[in-house]
Structure 1
């Protein structure tokens, strides 16, 4: 059974991570968010108190 031979495991591990590190980062970094956040002012909006008729 070839899976019991531990000799190629390290090379398989290294090739797998090399492929992951060369293919995935450009795909992740190319992602753009559809809604860019816009800066808001430092003033907080004035809120009215809630009406609690049952209290």
Structure 2
């Protein structure tokens, strides 16, 4: 049964993962974002607790 022979497929599997782990993360990390998110105000928001009707 040729599908049980791991010789050709093991090399393809290892080569694919080698590409995934070396080339692709370096390409992804080169992307820069146009702006970093910043909060609109430095003041902390004050919240009021909600009274649950069944509590």
- The TM-score normalised by the length of structure 1 is 0.56
Alignment of structure 1 residues 1-55 onto 2, 5 Å:
4=3, 5-39=5-39, 40-44=41-45
Q: Which ranges in structure 2 are unaligned for 5 or more consecutive residues? A: 46-55
Q: Normalization by structure 2: what TM-score?
A: 0.56
Larger Cα Rg: Structure 1 or Structure 2? 1
- Runs of 4+ residues deviating >6 angstroms: none
* CA apart distance, 1:19: 1.2
* CA RMSD between the two structures: 2.0
